[in-house]
Structure 1
Amino acid sequence: MIRNNPAPSSAYAVEGHALVKTFGKFRAVDGIDIAVPAGSIYGILGPNGAGKTTLLRTLLGIIDPDEGHRRLLGDAVPLRQARAIGYLPEERGLYPSMKAAEAIAFMGALRGLPIKVGRERARAMLTEHGMGASVDKPIRQLSKGMAQTVQLFGTIVHEPKLIVLDEPFSGLDAINQGKLETLIRDQARRGVTILFSTHVIAHAERLCERIAIVAGGQIRFEGSVSEARDKLRPQVRLRTRASDGRWRRALPAETLAADGAWHFDLPDEGIEPLLRALLDGQAGIESLSIERPGLHDAFVSIAGAAAARQMQDAEEELAG
């Protein structure tokens, strides 16, 4: 049953409420609420099979939810906003015989951009990004990374208000991943909303203002990267010249000894009381560092070690 839609909110480019999508007995999207602030870079983070692609397609109106409702750029019928959206699906596809600039112009034409304008913009984009020599080359003669860049340009050539990228970094080497990150930031500076899915935590940590961690078709966390990291305490790493003494009683009960150092969570009362105990007990402090947990640590805590291992395996497979 599709519920009645609430009034649109200009603060959000994408909204989904109580979304459910099933395939047979499998609930690919299981009661998801999501709101993507207009003008933000928003990442949907999770392992393969978590429901990321189904969620994106449901939000875009490519498939309809079994339950719940969604709004895209304030419209309760997402497909009416198709010309204002640039969508790069996970399954890439270009005509091999089509020239690079023509492919970009063709994709823009599908979103209502006049073909002449598309050709002009395509040549300018390719030249600006160091691909001027590829303007008239057939897609089949381009490297995989260059072909993927062409498809990305085709996704944005019509200057959409919202760009949706499904696993955009998949198959790109480190150099092209960096170029894509730059392009995403450039689009965001123009006020474009960027929504992308990924299983690579580093991309989300570097790019996103807000993230949704998805596992098993459900959102396990939604908020800023900083808020996700704040779910875990900072980690203390301490090296002492002395290996024992009364000062040991000041260390937290869960302290672990590894690699010649003491490792423990930052105590609730801070580090100062412990420092006094270490100094008074002549522990001989050689080094002490306090490190804030990264998004990977937060992901493991939120989604579980199995989901994190699945993502790591997928990342290593791509890198290999």
Structure 2
Amino acid sequence: MDKARVMTLFIGVVRARSFSQAAVEAGLTPQAVSKAVRQLEDHLGVRLFHRTTRSLSLTDEGQRLFELANPGLRLLDEAFDQVQNSRREVDGLIRIAAPTSFGTHFLAPLLCSFQQQYPGASFDLQLSDQFQDLIEGRIDVGFRAGHPPERNLVSRHIGDITLQICAAPSYIERHGAPRTAQELLQHRCTGFRQPNTGRLVPWELRGEGGTVYMDVPCVATFSTAEAEVEAVRAGMGIGQLATYMLGGDVAQGRLVHLLPELDTSNAGVYMYYQQRNRMPLRVRHFIDHVIAASQGAFTAARRRN
């Protein structure tokens, strides 16, 4: 016997004061509702209703069962209502996973602007350069740089990462500026080391036949993009940096954009999430907010630098 089902039907009959009306509300036949109540009576070993052709009333045992069970069912109804309403409300927590540098420089300002529109929204931003599983991490929206996730997820391309070769004016004063890709090999450069593999990432340069990769002489390597950018700003060496991290460094003279003909934009930024059909409204609004903010944002970053 499905106790939850027969109890729900029993309480429905009491509230409607009619087997036939309770059947209509439950989408069943009166015979099915009557059978369920008989199962409950047989299970309890008591009669729950006085039945005649013209009237229906509770026995003492039926009245006691109703008084004990009805508050619990009301709490269950309220729980269902609250969960359904949460899909329509923007207030609540949004869990986000993103690469460290992208989350710091691109997403953090978006969280602020989203909360200005929806003050009741809150965020749990989890930054890691490793791919994070949505289900295991209870993540609502994830971001990834490079290539889209190869999983059963909705993936949206929101922009391309442009890499520029930059140096501080102080470095150029001391060492001069390279005029060709080959001259980079005679300079002091910085490098990025993948934090999850430890692999030193070669520089990615635009060539006549497409993209070429070059191992440059590194005076320092970094496992976070933020540290590499700060080192280049301080004049340690020449770095290949993502434009979205630079703000207005080039336009304001803190950095010099070198060899612009070698810039590449091969890596994309992807937003991924599960299907939208049962998504809370706050998460849906946040996804739309990111898409709107990302349109032209990466192009604008290239123009500022």
Same fold per superposition (TM over 0.5): no
Q: Structure 2 length as normaliser, TM-score? A: 0.23
Q: Structure 1 length as normaliser, TM-score? A: 0.22
Bigger-Rg structure (1/2): 2
Flag the structure with higher helix content.
2
